[in-house]
Amino acid sequence: MTPNTARRKETSRRAILTAAFDLSQEVEYAKLSIEGIAARAGVGKQTIYRWWPSKGAVLFDAFLMLSEGAEGEQPALPDTGDLEADLTAVLRATVAELNDPRYEQPMRALATEIAHDPELAAAYAERLDGPLKEAKRQRLRSAQRAGQLAEGLDLDVAVDLIWGPVLNRWLQRGAPLTTEYTDLVVTTALNGLRSRATTETAG
């Protein structure tokens, strides 16, 4: 039932993933079709259906191929010792990527597929977002060890507190995603919403 991976044709696999990624930026999401991907890749439709369970899974693998090609396995955030500066810099890069016409539509496509497909979401969490999230946690852990972050801090929550607002604003298009906004998110997340005076004098 599961096809024999050994006999798989690597050139076709790459052609499909490349076609999927390229088309997802060229045509609007609703018109991204398996038929179109197969045609662009010069491949029979069955070759796609044989190896991937859904359009979203193809897209996911396309991103995976890209990320594997680009990175030297373990990604890491910059660590200059200045956490706020480092986070600000990273988020500015993220904003640039999210607004980059080469990536925006493909990323929206993947994000919405994930929103409707738990299995795909799990794969994403594990294989694409996982390493990235670990890098983020590492940077925060480093700052925590240096006494810059609260001791009892839940690092997962901390990561969400910084990236959650940004990703949510981007995906839901509440407002344009700017570096001013992300800079402010970093500062506010680090300092918290509370009035300093209140807490400090209370202490």
Partner DNA sequence: TTGTAATCGAGACGGTACGTCCTGTCTTTCC
Partner DNA sequence: GGAAAGACAGGACGTACCGTCTCGATTACAA
Residue 134: other Cβ atoms inside 10 A: 15
CA distance 86 to 25: 30
Distance in Å, CB of 128 to DNA, minimum: 22
Binding status of residue 29 toward a second copy by CB under 8 A: yes
User: Between residues 47 and 148, which has the closer beta carbon with respect to DNA?
Assistant: 47
Residue 26 main-chain phi, psi, to 5 deg: -85, -45
Binding status of residue 35 toward a second copy by CB under 8 A: no
CA angle in degrees (0–180, nearest 5) for 86-68-143? 20
Structure tokens at 196: 């300093």
175 is in the binding site of which of a second copy, DNA, none (Cβ under 5 to 8 A by kind)?
a second copy
CA distance 140 to 118: 28
Residues near a second copy (CB under 8 A), total: 58
Residue 3, helix vs strand vs coil: coil
Contact call for residues 170 and 83 (beta carbons, < 8 A): no
Kindly write out the interface string for residues 174-193 of this chain, putting x where it contacts a second copy by CB under 8 A and - elsewhere.
xx-----x--xx--xxxxxx
Residue type present at position 187:
T
Residues 11-50 that bind DNA (CB under 7 A): 12-13, 15, 31, 33-36, 42-47, 49-50
Residue type present at position 34:
I
Residues lying near DNA in the complex (CB under 7 A)? 3-4, 6-9, 12-13, 15, 31, 33-36, 42-47, 49-51, 54-55
Residues lying near a second copy in the complex (CB under 8 A)? 28-30, 108, 111-112, 114-116, 118, 121-122, 124-125, 129, 140, 144, 147-151, 153-154, 156-158, 160-161, 163-169, 171-175, 181, 184-185, 188-200, 203
